[in-house]
Amino acid sequence: MARREALLWLGAAGEDLEDAVDALGRGRWFRAAFFAQQAAGKALKALFFVVRREEPPKIHTVTELYRLLREAGFRLPRDLEEQIYILNKYYTVTRYPDAANGLPSESVDRLEAERAVEVARRVYEEARRRVEGAG
């Protein structure tokens, strides 16, 4: 059952990553950043089933999810570990005008969106390797 749940979370992460890439292609930077944050969060949640052998917590902070996985021995490559924090802010500023101090569409530029998608892609790939290797 845990493997199935991990694969479901990983599948959802992959779909969000596809949406992030699609949004990049359409110049919707804030949407790309939002879906990047969602993809990384779901990929990390997939890891809870194989690393911690439990269901993931109902939190959305990527760095908090990663901290809990680190406590159980999972590590991302150091350069990725040092960049993952950038995704945290995209959970709110890309969705709510009061969090972005204006329109969410004006809160993220192309370079930020591209960086967010790249970080999310790498988190997803690391999670995919670990989840698929656990089978």
Collapsed DSSP state (helix, strand, coil) of residue 16: helix
CATH number belonging to domain 2-133: 1.20.120.330
Q: CA–CA separation, 12 vs 10, rounded Å? A: 5
Q: CA–CA separation, 51 vs 29, rounded Å? A: 32
Structure tokens at 69: 């996985």
Q: CA–CA separation, 83 vs 81, rounded Å? A: 6
**pTM for this model (two decimals):** 0.94
pLDDT digits (tens, 9 = 90+) for 25-72: 999 999 999 999 999 999 999 999 999 999 999 999 999 999 999 999
Q: What's the mean per-residue pLDDT of the chain?
A: 93
Q: Count H helices and E strands in the chain, helices first.
A: 6, 0
Domain ranges of the chain: 2-133
